[in-house]
């Protein structure tokens, strides 16, 4: 399976592969046990005080195999050694009331006492953690630090971390070997004697009976730990194979892919509406060359180099790649994995891989397709961040359906067509903004434009259609587009003649005109003669020529009704015509104010806050 193969490769490249029973772990808190007596102190590891402090990584921590955690008489009551959750170590949160957690706490301190044969100082640590008064103090300190029950905790004794010492390694190997000897006999197929082809490496291996669990999915539907590969019910097994022998992966490869996922979900992942999206590259990529950071609108500064517009930076990178000026990236590859949780299971929602240059091309195309003229005219609007595009589709980002969000992520990275649902939602929000006289969203109008660009591209090659441009296109072949233009000019004419009249032609007629233009626009054009009579000769002539030009495009083809796609072209024509009127105001001596919207600064939604 390519996904597992690449995860194992990532683990190897980053030194994350360890022997079974050992694993790198990132620990947020330590309980400092004084050697001279007294109460322990809870200390924060990593970068104390930082909002996103993950803690300190320890490269070689003891790891109780999942099969051992779930087998035998103590199934579900065993704990890890030296590094465990705050809930288990300190009976923090609901742990003090949960009999199962209490049993795990007792197992944890019991392991400390057993390991004291090789590290005597662990005996004193076990005594502290078995003292109710000490535990109460520890819980209070964890609460003061706002620790979470699932945060990892280790011990510090006399200024040293026992987990960093190798004195316990041989003892731990012997202990795990003893647990394995106690395990019940395996099924005939998939047994310790039978070798199978590993799906991750292609080697002939003894398949792991159970796989280690993945963390980092608790916020997207999963538990603190989830299984990526698990066959814990007979209904999921076949061919007489037992448990994970149904999908053969060696113990080493299983440990490797779990370590890779834990690292990626903690350091290189984004949360997208109920899913975690992890991404990485075959070879390392500097932040300033990372197209995904540009897509997300992250800072791309490098040292003292002044930050460039993300769009321009990606375009420059693409030019350099095509010219062969970046051989360090020319053969690089990109990988993307979307995961969510379903209780104790990790669910793979999507998997992507491809050439790095292709990724840069696709992100550049995303930016190209979203470009749109500023609502006030006079140039192009800044290309919105990815989250701003998502937010433009809904009133509240919490309303975004998770499947649509993950689909849009794929659309951006794989240059796929924009889904109809995205157009429908964007159009609905655009209509509300127009009728309520709110500033038009650049992200929203850019997304509507991008929808039609990609539809055109699907029908006739990969070049952007000349029909759909960032600026006004007076030669556009769609009657719906020109109906929207006509509505914009009529609104501007009314404002020039009557000033601010409150509920003007847009507020009263836009919704109906965008759905049934033939029924509405003819009547509005006839009414416009009244407005023209109120203007001075030169200004009246200017508006007459504008109206005549649009009618010349429409002739007798004003549609009776418009489909939703046509209504979006109506909205695009309306928006681009208004921007064009504002752009040409000085050059053609148009009226002082042709706006039908109040000019305001970008909203938080427009700037990409999510």
So what's the pLDDT on residue 595? 42
pTM, whole model, 2 decimals?
A: 0.79
Across the chain, which distance is largest between two alpha carbons, in Å? 102
Helix (H, G, I), strand (E, B) or coil at 1: coil
pLDDT-flagged residues of the chain (< 70): 1, 36-37, 67, 70-75, 95, 182-193, 299-308, 460-465, 501-503, 585-610
What's the CA gap between 387 and 312, in Å, rounded?
A: 19
Q: What are phi and psi of 127, to 5 degrees?
A: -60, -45
pLDDT at 251: 85
**pLDDT on residue 223:** 86
pLDDT of residue 62: 94
State the DSSP H helix or E strand holding residue 338, giving kind and residue range, or none if neither: strand 333-355
Q: Which among 179, 202, 201, 181 has a CA at the least distance from the CA of 192?
A: 181
Distance spanning both ends of the chain, measured CA to CA: 34
């Amino acid at each position: 399976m390519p996904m597992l193969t690449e995860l194992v490769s990532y683990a190897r490249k980053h030194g994350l592969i360890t022997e079974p029973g050992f694993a790198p772990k990132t620990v947020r808190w330590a309980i400092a046990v004084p050697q001279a007596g007294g109460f322990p102190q809870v200390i924060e590891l990593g970068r104390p005080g930082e909002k996103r402090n993950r803690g300190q990584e320890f490269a070689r921590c003891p790891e109780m195999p999942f099969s051992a955690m779930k087998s035998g008489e103590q199934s579900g009551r065993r704990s890890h050694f030296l590094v465990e959750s705050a809930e288990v170590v300190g009976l923090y949160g609901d742990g003090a009331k949960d009999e199962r957690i209490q049993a795990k706490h007792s197992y944890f301190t019991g392991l400390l006492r057993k390991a004291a044969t090789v590290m005597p100082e662990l005996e004193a640590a076990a005594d502290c953690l078995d003292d109710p008064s000490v535990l109460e103090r520890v819980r209070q300190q964890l609460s003061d630090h706002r620790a979470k029950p699932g945060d990892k905790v280790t011990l510090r004794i006399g200024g040293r971390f026992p987990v960093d010492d190798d004195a316990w390694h041989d003892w731990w190997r012997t202990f795990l070997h003893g647990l394995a000897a106690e395990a019940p006999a395996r099924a005939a197929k998939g047994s310790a004697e039978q070798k199978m082809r590993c799906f991750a490496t292609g080697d002939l291996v003894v398949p792991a009976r159970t796989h280690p669990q993945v963390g980092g999915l608790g916020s997207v539907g999963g538990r603190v730990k989830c299984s990526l590969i698990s066959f814990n019910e007979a209904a999921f097994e076949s061919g007489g194979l037992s448990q994970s022998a149904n999908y053969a992966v060696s113990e080493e490869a299983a440990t490797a892919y779990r370590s890779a996922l834990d690292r990626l979900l903690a350091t290189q992942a984004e949360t997208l509406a109920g899913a975690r999206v992890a991404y990485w590259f075959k070879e390392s990529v500097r932040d300033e060359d990372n197209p995904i950071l540009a897509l997300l609108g992250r800072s791309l500064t490098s040292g003292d180099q002044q930050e460039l517009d993300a769009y321009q930076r990606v375009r420059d990178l693409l030019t350099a790649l095509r010219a062969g000026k970046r051989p360090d990236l020319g053969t690089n590859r990109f990988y993307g994995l979307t995961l969510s949780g379903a209780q104790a299971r990790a669910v793979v929602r999507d998997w992507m891989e491809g050439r790095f240059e292709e990724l840069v091309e696709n992100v550049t195309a995303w930016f190209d397709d979203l470009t749109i003229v500023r609502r006030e005219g006079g140039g192009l609007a800044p290309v919105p961040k990815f989250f701003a595009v998502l937010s433009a589709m809904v009133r509240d980002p919490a309303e975004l359906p998770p499947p649509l969000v993950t689909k849009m992520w794929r659309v951006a990275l794989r240059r796929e067509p924009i889904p109809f649902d995205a157009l429908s939602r964007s159009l609905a929000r655009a209509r509300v903004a127009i009728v309520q006289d709110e500033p038009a969203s650049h992200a929203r109008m850019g997304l509507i434009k991008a929808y039609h660009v990609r539809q055109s591209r699907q029908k006739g090659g990969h070049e952007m259609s000349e029909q759909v441009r960032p600026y006004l296109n007076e030669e556009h072949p769609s009657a719906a587009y020109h109906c929207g233009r006509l509505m914009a000019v009529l609104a501007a004419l009314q404002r020039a003649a009557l000033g601010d009249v409150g509920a003007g032609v847009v507020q009263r007629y836009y919704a109906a005109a965008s759905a049934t233009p033939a029924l509405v626009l003819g009547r509005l054009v006839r009414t416009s003669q009244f407005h023209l009579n109120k203007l001075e000769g030169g200004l009246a002539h200017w508006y007459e020529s504008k109206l005549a030009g649009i009618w010349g495009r429409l002739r007798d083809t004003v549609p009776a009704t418009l489909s939703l796609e046509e209504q979006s072209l109506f909205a695009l024509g309306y928006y681009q015509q208004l921007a064009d009127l504002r752009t040409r105001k000085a050059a053609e001596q148009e009226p002082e104010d042709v706006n039908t919207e109040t000019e305001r600064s970008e909203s938080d939604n427009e700037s990409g806050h999510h």
